[in-house]
Amino acid sequence: MEKTLINNLCYDKNMADITFKEIVKKTNEVIAAFQKVEPRDWGIEGNMIELAKQAGELGKNVMMLENYYLAARQDNPNYNTASKEQIGNELSDIFFVLVRIANHYGIDLEKAHLKELDLALAAFEAGDKAQPPWRENNK
């Protein structure tokens, strides 16, 4: 098994043995290093623009991989480069932006996600199928 050492976090290419908290910490280290190279304030607006851009890139790659584009585009080099690896890269880019947004608002992403998982599981186990009850405040 090939392993890579990332700042004392051992990443096994077949199975990561690090915690979510460690992944967020490493992500913040990379964000800090990026800020030294590109020292500008992204602000929440910049982060939202980047999130929309990355979501678009993800959508484009999924659509290319699933052959949703017109057949005429099959031979176009701009529309035949999708792969599972590229989709993974786009998902990772989205995660970077999510961490930056969580940082902007001082949100513990791990706690927030675990809370949502608990609420969703409770609702689904209760048989709720429509608007999830934990989202009632989103009117």
Query: Mind listing the pLDDT tens digit for each residue in 84-136?
Result: 999 999 999 999 999 999 999 999 999 999 998 888 888 888 887 655 555 66
Domain of residue 13 covers 1-40
CA–CA distance, 46 with 98 (Å, rounded to integer): 12
36 & 50 share domain: no
53 & 98 share domain: yes
88 & 124 share domain: yes
Query: How many domains would you assign to the chain?
Result: 2
CA–CA distance, 108 with 112 (Å, rounded to integer): 6
Report which of residues 65 and 14 the model is more confident about: 65
CA–CA distance, 122 with 116 (Å, rounded to integer): 10
Confirm if 46 and 34 have CB atoms less than 8 A apart: no
17 & 73 share domain: no
20 & 50 share domain: no
Give per-residue pLDDT as tens, 18-49: 899 999 999 999 999 999 998 888 899 999 99
Q: Under DSSP, is residue 11 helix (H, G, I), strand (E, B) or coil?
A: strand
- 139 assigned to some structural domain: no
CA–CA distance, 101 with 109 (Å, rounded to integer): 10
Identify which of 102, 112, 90, 113 has the alpha carbon closest to the alpha carbon of residue 25.
Answer: 102
31 & 83 share domain: no
34 & 52 share domain: no
Query: Sorting pLDDT into bands at 50, 70 and 90, what band is 1?
Result: very low
pTM, two decimal places: 0.76
